[in-house]
C-alpha cells in the first residue's frame, strides 16, 4: 500500500492538499467584518446564510459583526454529489420576512455565479431595502454570470476545494482549514 505524504488528506475517494490555513481564514473573516461594520454603522443587517456551505463562514463572521444582526437561512443546491455544477440551482427554505431589510447574502464560494444570480433574483422579489453579497472565496476565471461580490475573502484559481463548510460528496465540511484537490497521491 502506498504511504501518503503527511500533509495530504483523503476526503471520500479523493486526495486533498493544504490550501488556506485556519489563521489565514481568520484574517480574511476579520477583514471582511471590519469593512461590514464600517459600511453598516447605524444600520441593521439581515445575514442570509446559504446552506450548507456557508454555515461555518457565517457563524464566524456574525460573531465579529457589531451592528444589530438577524440571521436567516436558505438552501441552494446545485452540485449534487460531485465536483461539477449540475446546471440547475434549487433555492428553498427561506421563511423569514426580509422586506425592508438590508440583506447580506453569505456564500462560501462563487464558481459560475449561477447560484447567486438565482438567489438575488429571488430575493429582489421580496422587497428588501438592499442586497449585498459576501463570499469567502471566488473563482473569477470561471464566473459565467456577471455578478458583483461586495465582500470577498480571496480570489482563487478554478480548482475544487473542501473544508470550512465546503464539502466533497457530503464530506469534509468540518475541516477547519481549506484543502484543494490533488490527484497525485505522491506529490
Ligand atoms: P456556482 O453557482 O457559483 O457555480 O456555485 C456555487 C456553489 O457551488 C457554492 O455555494 C458551493 O456549494 C459549490 N462550489 C463551487 N465551487 C466549489 C468548490 O471548489 N468546492 C466545493 N466544495 N463547493 C464548490
How many domains is the chain built from? 1
- Distance between CA 108 and CA 55 in Å, rounded? 8
Is 113 inside any structural domain?
Answer: yes
Q: Residues near ligand 1 with C-beta < 6 Å?
A: 53, 78-79, 85, 107-115, 160-162, 166-168
**Ligand 1 centre and the CA of 7: distance in Å?**
24
Give the H/E segment covering residue 30: helix 22-39
**pLDDT for position 21:** 97
**Ligand 1 centre and the CA of 109: distance in Å?**
5
Is 27 inside any structural domain?
Answer: yes
- Distance between CA 168 and CA 181 in Å, rounded? 10
Rg of the chain, C-alpha, whole Å: 17
Q: What residues make up the domain containing 50?
A: 21-77+92-156
**Residues 78-113: pLDDT tens digits?**
655 566 665 666 777 787 789 999 999 999 999 999
**Residues 48-82: pLDDT tens digits?**
999 999 999 999 999 999 999 999 999 887 655 56
In the residue annotation, 60 being an active-site residue is answered as no
Tell which atom from ligand 1 comes closest to the C-alpha of 109.
9
**pLDDT for position 1:** 46
Is 14 inside any structural domain?
Answer: no
Ligand 1 test: best mutation among 20, 49, 111, most atoms within 8 Å of CB?
A: 111
Is 180 inside any structural domain?
Answer: no
Of 19, 39, 66, 21, the residue nearest 134 (C-alpha): 39
Determine the average pLDDT of the residues in 161-183: 96
**pLDDT for position 86:** 58
The closest residue, in CA terms, to atom 15 on ligand 1 is 111
Is 163 inside any structural domain?
Answer: no
Predicted TM-score (pTM) of this structure: 0.91
Is 29 inside any structural domain?
Answer: yes
**Ligand 1 centre and the CA of 163: distance in Å?**
12
**pLDDT for position 126:** 92
Q: State the CATH number of the domain containing residue 128.
A: 3.40.50.2020
Residue 157 pLDDT level (bands cut at 50, 70, 90): very high
Amino acid at each position: 500500500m502506498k504511504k501518503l505524504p503527511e500533509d495530504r488528506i483523503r476526503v471520500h475517494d479523493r486526495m486533498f492538499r493544504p490550501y488556506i490555513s485556519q489563521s489565514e481564514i481568520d484574517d480574511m473573516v476579520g477583514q471582511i467584518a471590519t469593512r461590514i461594520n464600517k459600511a453598516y454603522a447605524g444600520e441593521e443587517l439581515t445575514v442570509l446564510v446559504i446552506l450548507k456551505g456557508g454555515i461555518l463562514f457565517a457563524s464566524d463572521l456574525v460573531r465579529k459583526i457589531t451592528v444589530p444582526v438577524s440571521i436567516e437561512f436558505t438552501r441552494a443546491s446545485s452540485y449534487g454529489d460531485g465536483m461539477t455544477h449540475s446546471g440547475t440551482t434549487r433555492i428553498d427554505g427561506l421563511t423569514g420576512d426580509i422586506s425592508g431589510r438590508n440583506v447580506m447574502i453569505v456564500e462560501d464560494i462563487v464558481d459560475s455565479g449561477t447560484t447567486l444570480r438565482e438567489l438575488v433574483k429571488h430575493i429582489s422579489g421580496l422587497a428588501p431595502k438592499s442586497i449585498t453579497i459576501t463570499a469567502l472565496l471566488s473563482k473569477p476565471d470561471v464566473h459565467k454570470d456577471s455578478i458583483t461580490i461586495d465582500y470577498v475573502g480571496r480570489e482563487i484559481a478554478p480548482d475544487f476545494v473542501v473544508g470550512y463548510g465546503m464539502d466533497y460528496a457530503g464530506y469534509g465540511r468540518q475541516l477547519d482549514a481549506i484543502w484543494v484537490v490533488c490527484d497525485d497521491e505522491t506529490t
